Structure 1
Amino acid sequence: MKKVFKFSAIFIVGIVLLVYIAGFYYFGRYFLPNSKVNDKDVSFTKISDLYNTYNSTYDNFELEIVGRGVKDKVKAASFDYKNILEPNQVVNQNPFYWVFYLFNQKEYNLESRVTYDKEKFEDIVNNLNLVKEKTVEPENAKVVFNGKKFEIEKEVLGNKLKKDLLIEKILDYISEDKDTLKLEDEGIYYNPTVYSDDAGLKSKLDQMNKLNSFEITYKFEDRTEVIKDEELLNMYRENEDGLLVPDTEKVTAYVRNLEKKYDTFHGTRNFYATGIGPIVVKGGIYGWWTDTKATVEQLTKALENTETVTLEPVYKLTAQSRSANDLGNSYIEVDLGRQHLWMYKEGALVLETDFVSGNPNKGNGTPTGTDKIWSREKGRYLTGEDYKSFVDYWLAINWSNIGLHDASWRSQFGGSLYLSNGSHGCINIKPDVMKDIYDNSFVGMGVVVYDSSVPS
C-alpha cells in the first residue's frame, strides 16, 4: 500500500512538473492571460509579435453609432486610424512565475501614438446618416389652447447634434475599444429644457384653465371689446414663484390699443355738413379721452379678481355719445366759408343764422375742429390787448378763448365781412339769435367748426 501511495505521489508531482515546464516554455513566448498593453488585450499572443499584434488592433475595428431612430457604423480603417507603438520597447514577462500570475491582471504601459487621416475622418462624419438627415430643433413642452381649454403640448426631442461632441466621442470610443456609441447616453443631442411632466408646467396649466373660465368686456354703447381665451392669458406673466400675475406692460399696451381705436379727442372725424355732404374735420377739444393710468389699474384689478365683468374705460374727457357717432343728435355746426351756423337738437334743426368770425387776414382766423361748449355765462366782459366788450351771452368752445357770443355793436352779419372786419377769433352772432342759441345749449354740446372754402 505504501508503495502504491509513493508511486501516485511521484506521478502527480511529475505531472505538475511537466505542466509547469510546459507553461514555462509556453509563456516564455506568449503573453499570460489577462495581459494588457495600454489597455489592449494581448492575452495568449506571441510576445515576439507584440508590435504586429498591437499595431493591427484597429484593422477590423468597427464602431456602431446609435441615435434617435437611426444607426450608423464607422470603420477605423476607413480613415486610417492607427495606434502604433514607439519602436524598441519590450515587455518583461517572467515565465518562472507564470502559475502565480495566471489569474492576475497584468498591465503594461508602453509609449504609443495615434494617427489618422483627418480629412477622411471629417468626410466620414459629415456623411453619417444622423448628420445628413434634416435637422429638427428641440422644442420645450408648452401650454397651448385647443379651442376650448388649455392643454400641455408634448416636447419635441428633435435630432439636433452637438457635432463637436460627436466627433470627440467617436474618437474616444475607438481609442477605448468600445464598439457601441449611444448618442442619448453621451448627451450628444440638444434637448428641450422643459418636459411635459414638469411640475411648473402642470401648475401653469391649472392656472391658465382657471383664468380661461372668465372674460372681460369693454362696452362702447354700440360696440364691444371682449378679452378672453388666449388674448386674456397673454396679459399675464409668470412671477418668480411660478404664479401667473397681470403683466403691467401688456395691460398698458392693450389699453393703448383701445385708445387708438375708440378715443376721439383731438382726432379726425367724418361729418355730414348741411348742404354739402360728407367732409373731414380735424382736431378740436370734443371727444373721448381715456385716462390711461386709471384704466390700466382698472383692468389690472379685473385680471386679479378673475371674474367675468363688463367695464367702461376711465376717461379724462367725455362726449355726448359713446357710439361711433359720438356727437349725438344735438350739436352746433359752424361753416366759416359760408359764414353760417346751424343748431340741431335731438336731430331737428332748431335755428340757423349768419355770423362774423375771426379775420384771417390779421392772423385772427377762427380755428377749425370739433369743439364743445365747456362754459356758459351771462353778462360778462370779453377783454384783449386792444378791446373790452360786454356781452349778454358767452359760450366758450375751445381752450384758446374762442367762443360764441352776441355782438350788439354789429349791424351786419354773414357774407365776406369777416375778411375785412372780422373778429379777434370769436363767432359774433345777432343778439336775439344768440339768446336762442344760449337757451338751447348745454355744457358738453358739440360745436363742429369747418371751412368749406378750403378743401379738406
Structure 2
Amino acid sequence: MKTLKKLSMKQMALVVTGSIFLVLLAIYLGFAAFFTSHYLFGTTINGVKASGKTPRAMEQLIENEIDGYTIRLEPAEGKEEIIEGCDINLKPVFDGSLQGVLLSQNGFAWPMSLFRESRVELETMVDYNEEALQKVIKELELMDEDQMIKAENAIISEYSEKDGYHIIPEEEGTVIEEKQFLQALEEAILNLQEHMVLAEKDCYVKPEYTQESEEVIKLAETMNRYAGAVITYDFGDSQEVLDGKTISQWISVNDEYKAKLSRKKIEEYVAGLADTYNTAGKSKSLASSYGASVTVSGGDYGWKIDQEKEAEALRGNIKKGETLSREPEYAQRANSRGGNDYGSTYVEVNLTAQHLHYYKDGSLVLETDFVSGNDAKGWSTPPGAFGLYYKQLDKTLRGEGYATPVDFWMPFNGGVGFHDANWRRDFGGNYYKRGGSHGCINMPYNAAKTLYDNIEAGCPVLVYQLPGSESAKAKQQDAAAVVTELIASLGEITLDSREAVTNARNQYNGLDGGARGYVSNYNVLEEAEARIGQLEAEAAADQQAQAEAQPVIDAINQLAGQKITLDMKDTIKNIRKQYNKLSEAARSKVTNYNILTEAEVKIEKLEKEKEKE
C-alpha cells in the first residue's frame, strides 16, 4: 500500500510540472507570435520608444510628435530659446525602414530583449529644410558673438611664500562650437527630442588646458620645484639667501604651458652679487708700516665671481629645487673675507720711500730698500693691489733693447715683478726718478732670495705712494740733485759766470756730508772756480798793460791830423823812446802805433829833401 501511494505522488508532480511547462510554452509562443508584428521589449528607434508597437503605430506616433514639434535649447548662460518644427519645415519620412526593423528582429528571442536594449537609428524617419534651420540658428541669441564669453584655461596662481603655486581651475565659456552645435541639434531634431542642454552636448569651445591636463599639473609641479629651491651663499662673515620670493619673479610660462626660467634675471642677480661682494679692482685701506692709513687704488687683486659659471650653476640648483649652502663660483679668490681681503700675509711696497715690507701671518719677514720704475722715462711702477702670479728661478727678462738674466723672478702685474738686480750698487733713495728700472722692483740679491723663499703664488702685493715718507737718503739725493743741476747749467765759464759759480759753491757748501757725496759733477764746479781765478788774473794783467800804454797812446793821438814838419822831429823821437820802454803786453794795447810809424817815415823824407837843397 505504501508503495502504491508513493508512485501516485510522483505522477502528480509530473502532471504539475508538465502543466506549468505547457503554460509557459503557450506564453512563449504567444509572445513570439505577437512580436512578429510588434517591436521587441527595449526597442527605441531614433530615440522614440517602440517597445510593443507596430510600425504603423510608430508612424502615427512620429506624425503626432512632428505636429506642433518644438525643441527647447538650454544654454549655459542666458535664457532658453525655442525652435519650432514648422520654422524648419519638419516632416515625417517613411520609406519602409520601420517595417525593415521589424522584419530584422527575431520574435522567438523575445526573452533576451527583457535583459538588453535595442537602439536603432534610421536616417529617413524625419526630414527638415537645412537652409531654414541655418537661418533660424543665426537668429538665436546664443549665437550672438557679442554675448559670448571666451573659455579660460586653467592657470597657475601667483606665488605665495606660504603655499607656493597652485592650479586655478579653468572657466567654461559660451563661445559656440558651431560644427558640434549643428551636429547635436540635427541629431536632436531627427530624434524629435524636445529639450537639448548645450553644455551636455559639448556645444561650447572648451578650454585648451584644464586643471586635469597633464601639462598643467606638470607645470605646477615644475614651478613649485623651482620656487622651492633655497640657495644660501657663504661670503665669510656675510650670507645671501635666495629663495622662492625672488626665484618666483624669474619664472614665466610659455604658450606651450612650460615653465621658463629667465637666464637674464639669473645673470642680473649674479651681477648684483658680484657688485656687492667682489673686491677685485676696488680701493683697499691699509694700516701702513709708517703709521699712516693709506688707500691702495687700482690693480686687480681681490674676490671676483665668475659670473658666467655661477649663473649656470645657480640655474642648475634652481631647476633641481635644491636646498644648499655654498660659495659662488670664483674666477679669482683672495686671502680673507673679513675686514680686508688681503688678510695678514702681503707685500707692502711704498714707492715714495722706495722701501718694502713683507708680512707673513702678521709677522715681518723682510724689510728692504728697492729701486722701482724710471719716472723720467715714463716707466713708473703702477700703484695698486695685485696678486703674485708665480715665482721662477733663473729667468731672462726681455724687452725692447735689453735681455737681463736674474736669479729670482716674481711677477705680479703684467711684466712688472720683483727680482734681484746685482748690477746696482745701491738701492732706495730717489734713484728711480732718473735711473730707475723698466717698471720692475729691483731688489738687493739677498733680499730677493729671502722674498722668493717665503712668498707663494697669489700673495697680495700692495703698491702705493705716501707723500712725506721719503727716506733720508732720498732727501739728500734730492738736495744734491739741485746742486748738480746748478753746476751742470754753468756752461762755458767767463768772468760773467762768477756769480753763478759762487752760488753753486754756496749751495754745495750748504749740503750735509751725506748729500755732498751724491753731487756727481763736483769736479766741474772745481774746474769752474779755477777758470774764474785764471780769468780774473788775466783781466788784472790786461788792465795793468792798458795803464802803462795809455800815455803813449795819448801822445801818438796828438800827432793824428797834424802836418808833420822837421820841427816835430824831437817830439816824435821822444814818443818812440816811450813806446820802446813799454812791455810787450802794453805795446799790444797801442792800437794807434801806425800813426807813429807814418810820422817817422815823413820826418825821414823831409830830412832827405833838405840835404838835396
2:327 equivalent to 1:308: no
Is the alpha carbon distance of 1:202 and 1:279 closer, same or farther for their aligned partners in structure 2, counting shifts above 3 Å?
farther
Deviation for aligned residue 1:257: 0.9
Deviation for aligned residue 1:291: 2.2
Structure 1 stretches of at least 4 aligned residues deviating more than 6 Å after TM superposition: 151-154, 197-206
Match for residue 400 of structure 2 among 385, 397, 409: 385
Native 8 Å contact 1:357 1:365 kept in 2: yes
The equivalent of 1:354 in structure 2 is 369
Is the alpha carbon distance of 1:246 and 1:271 closer, same or farther for their aligned partners in structure 2, counting shifts above 3 Å?
farther
TM-score (norm 2): 0.41
Match for residue 257 of structure 1 among 268, 272, 279: 272
Alpha-carbon distance in 2 for matches of 1:240, 1:278: 60
Alpha-carbon distance in 1 for matches of 2:416, 2:236: 31
Alpha-carbon distance in 2 for matches of 1:275, 1:146: 57
Deviation for aligned residue 1:408: 1.0
The equivalent of 2:454 in structure 1 is 440
Describe how 1:189-268 pairs up with structure 2 within 5 A: 208-268=223-283
Native 8 Å contact 2:229 2:318 kept in 1: no
Describe how 1:41-440 pairs up with structure 2 within 5 A: 143-144=157-158, 148-150=162-164, 208-323=223-338, 325-399=340-414, 401-440=415-454
The equivalent of 1:96 in structure 2 is none
Native 8 Å contact 1:364 1:425 kept in 2: yes
CA RMSD in angstroms, aligned pairs only: 3.2
Native 8 Å contact 1:220 1:323 kept in 2: no
Native 8 Å contact 2:161 2:245 kept in 1: no
- Give deviations 1:378-414, integer Å, cap 9, x for gaps: 1122222233322111100111x10001111112111
User: Which has the larger Rg?
Assistant: 2
- 2:442 aligned counterpart, secondary structure: strand
Native 8 Å contact 1:149 1:212 kept in 2: no
Letter in 2 for 1:272: A
Letter in 1 for 2:336: S
Native 8 Å contact 1:149 1:209 kept in 2: no
Native 8 Å contact 1:333 1:448 kept in 2: yes
Alpha-carbon distance in 1 for matches of 2:167, 2:430: 74
Is the alpha carbon distance of 1:302 and 1:454 closer, same or farther for their aligned partners in structure 2, counting shifts above 3 Å?
farther
Alpha-carbon distance in 1 for matches of 2:320, 2:164: 20
Percent of residue pairs bearing the same amino acid type: 35
Deviation for aligned residue 1:204: 6.8
Is the alpha carbon distance of 1:379 and 1:211 closer, same or farther for their aligned partners in structure 2, counting shifts above 3 Å?
closer
- Give deviations 1:169-202, integer Å, cap 9, x for gaps: xxxxxxxxxxxxxxxxxxxxxxxxxxxx999999
Letter in 2 for 1:342: H
Deviation for aligned residue 1:152: 7.9
Native 8 Å contact 1:212 1:228 kept in 2: yes
Alpha-carbon distance in 2 for matches of 1:296, 1:211: 15
- 2:424 aligned counterpart, secondary structure: coil
Unaligned regions of 5+ residues in structure 2, if any?
A: 1-154, 169-210, 470-613
- 2:273 aligned counterpart, secondary structure: helix
Alpha-carbon distance in 1 for matches of 2:450, 2:439: 21
Is the alpha carbon distance of 1:453 and 1:142 closer, same or farther for their aligned partners in structure 2, counting shifts above 3 Å?
farther
- 1:382 aligned counterpart, secondary structure: strand
Higher relative contact order, chain-length normalized (CA < 8 Å, sep 6+)? 1
The equivalent of 2:81 in structure 1 is none
Alpha-carbon distance in 2 for matches of 1:323, 1:145: 36
Alpha-carbon distance in 1 for matches of 2:250, 2:364: 48
Is the alpha carbon distance of 1:152 and 1:346 closer, same or farther for their aligned partners in structure 2, counting shifts above 3 Å?
same
Deviation for aligned residue 1:424: 1.2
2:463 equivalent to 1:449: yes
- Give deviations 1:347-380, integer Å, cap 9, x for gaps: 1111211111111121010011111211211112
Letter in 2 for 1:362: K
TM-score (norm 1): 0.54
Alpha-carbon distance in 1 for matches of 2:356, 2:298: 19
Aligned residues: 276
Native 8 Å contact 1:406 1:430 kept in 2: yes
Is the alpha carbon distance of 1:324 and 1:308 closer, same or farther for their aligned partners in structure 2, counting shifts above 3 Å?
farther
Q: Relative to total residues, which structure has the larger strand share, 1 or 2?
A: 1
Is the alpha carbon distance of 1:151 and 1:309 closer, same or farther for their aligned partners in structure 2, counting shifts above 3 Å?
closer
Unaligned regions of 5+ residues in structure 1, if any?
A: 1-140, 155-196
- 1:221 aligned counterpart, secondary structure: coil
- 1:343 aligned counterpart, secondary structure: strand
